């Protein structure tokens, strides 16, 4: 079946929904998500949103500098300036959509401070800010008459000149996007969605790792689709591992213990109760995430432990429960009272700083295709994302994509000659065990060889194993009907390959990329 929309939005987190809301007054919008609207990385973001609001002590220059330092000076300053300076107006947009940020008794924002920030500037809603934003946007999206929600729909491929029989390579100058082939999971039919403008907002790729804080839908779909369509990706080697995911073997995804807990005064300790961050950084537990994650990783490997502890037992118990009600309840359900007991934590894959390369308008290298949120690489994060900069980046760039696409979308027409999906000669895959086993293998390969600490030998091993999985999977994909499972596996292998390849190419330690074979940092003196 062919469906036509002015705007096709693939992904339903803060990036996809805020874009949809901003363009829906001007045309018909299809909002495609592969499970439900709630199942997005945004929902699981605990910490909050970074923005300069307290002008008595804070200013844009401080936030810009903090971001540049955290990004190890790889960040694109133009992107950093854009996000920081436009943040307050987009905070107001979120409030207008119903987001309720916590206030103090004076009616001012109750601001938190997180690792790498020089001031208190994190707006939050208790310790479930992402859920508050997600739920508010869902209400607004469901109410809008011009937005059609397609839940349980999975985008397989974006449509380009390739689907008109024209050869498209990475050197082709004017690749255009005409929509996407989308699998209806309920019927197992593949529909053709034609659009004037397509927005990729599919989130990150944490699920390619064995241990992650991301929901398991985060399989890097958008990045893989754009890469296969010969679009440009960038900075894929920079995978942020959250230092403090709750250590509870068998949990997938891992429950996040927010950075705000260290900002609140939490102390990291080894299993025998000793502090250790003083050995690694003068900022102790408030050092940026990459430093803290490597410190924990080193302590665990050196001592042979599978976790460390985070200690907030010295803080006022009632204040702790008030600040972190969800963390308190979750830990209590496992028999851990955080006001009296240490919290067991270990690093987990958390955030991708790279992705689909976009400009200041959120436009990708493929015309008519925008990318926003974690699947995009704006240049804001550089080598390492500053805590709580991601949600604000998503709304700022969704706004930029909306403004730019609204200026141009009426110039575009539908490519009606795109053929419908052809799966003649294929059959339903009865070998599901092959796919589930391969998914586990990808996670194992990435966590073991392309994790927090890397080496040439580990990366080469990952490359070789991913290559074998790629060949096997592509062969299977050609023989069987498209299903979500096999499409996700293809995407995970593609993204794993991109992370590994970019890591091999970077012959230095920089930001989140740490290799024992090239310990010299770009700024180290001879």
* pLDDT value of residue 250: 79
Tens of pLDDT, residues 289-328: 788 999 998 898 889 899 999 999 999 999 999 989 999 9
Q: What per-residue confidence (pLDDT) applies to 289? A: 78
Percent of the chain with pLDDT over 70: 98
Residues 442, 361 share a domain: no
Q: Tens digit of pLDDT for each residue in 364-386?
A: 999 999 999 999 999 999 999 99
CA-CA distances (angstroms) from residue 248 to 127, 158, 217, 244, 321?
A: 20, 38, 20, 12, 21
> Which of the listed residues 296, 331, 347 is the one where a domain comes to its end?
347
User: How many of the other CB atoms lie within 10 Å of CB of 437?
Assistant: 10
- Asked if residue 113 is part of any domain, the answer here is no
Q: Determine, yes or no, domain membership for 78.
A: no
Domain identity same for 322 and 452: no
Spatial separation of the C-alpha atoms in residues 328 and 320, rounded to whole Å: 8
CB atoms within 10 A of CB 498: 23
Question: What does DSSP assign to residue 161?
Answer: G
What pLDDT band is residue 237 in, cutting at 50, 70 and 90?
A: very high
303 is catalytic: no
The active-site residue, picked from 121, 262, 269, 289, is 289
Residue 512 domain-assigned?
A: no
Cβ(286)–Cβ(264) below 8 Å: no
pLDDT tens by residue, 109-149: 999 888 789 999 999 988 788 888 889 999 999 999 999 99
Confidence (pLDDT) at 365: 97
Q: Are residues 343 and 397 in the same domain?
A: no
In a domain, 463, yes or no: yes
* pLDDT exceeds cutoff 90 at 11: yes
Indicate whether 42 and 141 sit together in one domain.
yes
| Cα gap 259→266, rounded to integer Å | 9
Tell me: do 458 and 478 sit in the same domain: yes
Encoding tokens for residue 429? Answer: 């895959």
Helix axes 129-143, 390-408, angle to 10 degrees: 20
Shared domain check, 272 and 151:
no
What is the per-residue pLDDT across 141-164, written as a single tens digit (0 to 9) for each?
999 999 999 999 999 999 999 999
Assess contact for 280 and 115: CB atoms under 8 A. Answer: no
Residue 346 pLDDT class (50, 70, 90 cuts):
very high
| Predicted confidence (pLDDT) per residue in 402-445, tens digit | 999 999 999 999 999 999 998 876 777 666 778 889 999 999 99
Q: How far apart are CA 14 and CA 388, in angstroms?
A: 13
Does 196 lie in the same domain as 286?
no
Cα separation, 246 vs 261, in Å, equals 12
Q: Which H, E and C letters describe 229-287, residue by residue?
A: CCCCEECCCCEEEEEEEECCCCCCCCCECCCHHHHCCCEEECCCCCECHHHCCCCHHHC
Full-model pTM: 0.90
User: What ranges in 368-483 are assigned the alpha helix state H?
Assistant: 390-408, 432-449, 456-479
pLDDT in tens, 69-102: 999 999 999 999 999 999 999 999 999 998 999 9
pLDDT 10s digits, 200-213:
999 999 999 998 98
Q: Are residues 360 and 466 in the same domain?
A: no
- Looking at 14-76, list the stretches that DSSP marks H as alpha helix, in order from N- to C-terminal side: 14-23, 60-70
In terms of domains, do 226 and 295 share one?
A: no
CATH number of the domain where residue 501 is located: 1.20.58.100
134 and 283 share one domain: no
Q: How many structural domains are present in the chain?
A: 3
What pLDDT sits at residue 429?
67
Range of the domain at 292: 246-347
Residue 148 sits in the same domain as residue 12: yes
Does the residue 448 lie in any domain? yes
């Amino acid at each position: 079946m062919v469906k036509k929309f002015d705007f096709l939005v693939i992904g339903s987190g803060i990036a996809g929904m805020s874009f949809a809301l901003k363009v829906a007054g001007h045309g018909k919008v299809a909002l495609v998500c592969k499970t439900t609207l709630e199942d997005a990385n945004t929902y699981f973001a605990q910490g909050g949103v970074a923005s300069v609001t307290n002008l008595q002590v804070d200013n844009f220059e401080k936030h810009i500098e903090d971001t540049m330092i955290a990004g190890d000076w790889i960040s694109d300053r133009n992107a950093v300036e854009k996000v920081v300076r436009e943040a307050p107006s987009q905070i107001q947009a979120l409030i207008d959509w119903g987001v309720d940020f916590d206030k103090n008794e004076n009616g001012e924002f109750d601001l938190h401070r997180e690792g790498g920030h020089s001031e208190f500037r994190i707006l939050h809603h208790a310790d479930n800010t992402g859920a508050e934003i997600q739920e508010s946007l869902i209400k607004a999206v469901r109410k809008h008459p011009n937005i059609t929600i397609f839940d349980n729909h999975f985008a397989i491929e974006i449509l380009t000149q390739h689907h008109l029989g024209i050869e498209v390579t990475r050197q082709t100058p004017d690749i255009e996007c005409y929509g996407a082939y989308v699998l209806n999971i309920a019927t197992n039919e593949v529909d053709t969605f034609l659009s004037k403008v397509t927005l990729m907002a599919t989130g990150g790729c944490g699920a390619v790792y064995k241990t992650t804080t991301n929901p398991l839908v985060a399989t890097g779909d958008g990045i893989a689709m754009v890469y296969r369509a010969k679009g440009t990706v960038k900075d894929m080697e920079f995978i942020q591992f959250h230092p403090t995911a709750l250590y509870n073997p068998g949990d997938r995804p891992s429950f996040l213990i927010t950075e705000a807990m260290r900002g609140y005064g939490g102390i990291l300790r080894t299993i025998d109760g000793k502090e250790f961050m003083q050995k690694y950084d003068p900022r102790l537990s408030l050092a940026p995430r990459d430093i803290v994650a490597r410190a924990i990783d080193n302590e665990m490997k050196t001592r042979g432990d599978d976790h460390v502890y985070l200690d907030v037992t010295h803080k006022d118990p009632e204040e702790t429960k008030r600040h972190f009600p969800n963390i308190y309840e979750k830990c209590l359900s496992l028999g851990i009272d955080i006001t009296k007991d240490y919290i067991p934590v270990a690093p987990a894959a958390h955030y991708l700083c790279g992705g689909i390369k976009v400009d200041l308008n959120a436009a990708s290298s493929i015309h008519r295709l925008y990318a926003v949120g974690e699947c995009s690489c704006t240049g804001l994060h550089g080598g390492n994302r500053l805590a709580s900069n991601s949600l604000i980046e998503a709304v700022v760039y969704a706004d930029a994509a909306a403004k730019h696409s609204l200026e141009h979308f009426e110039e575009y027409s539908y490519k009606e000659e795109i053929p419908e999906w052809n799966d003649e000669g294929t059959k339903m895959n009865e070998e599901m065990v092959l796919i589930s086993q391969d998914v586990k293998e990808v996670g194992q390969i990435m966590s073991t060889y392309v994790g927090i600490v890397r080496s040439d030998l580990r990366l080469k091993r990952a490359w070789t194993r991913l290559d074998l999985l790629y060949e096997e999977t592509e062969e299977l994909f050609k023989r069987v009907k498209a299903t979500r499972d096999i499409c996700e596996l293809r995407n995970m292998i593609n993204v794993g390959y991109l992370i590994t390849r970019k890591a091999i190419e970077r012959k230095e330690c920089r930001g989140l990329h740490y290799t024992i074979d090239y310990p010299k940092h770009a700024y180290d003196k001879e």
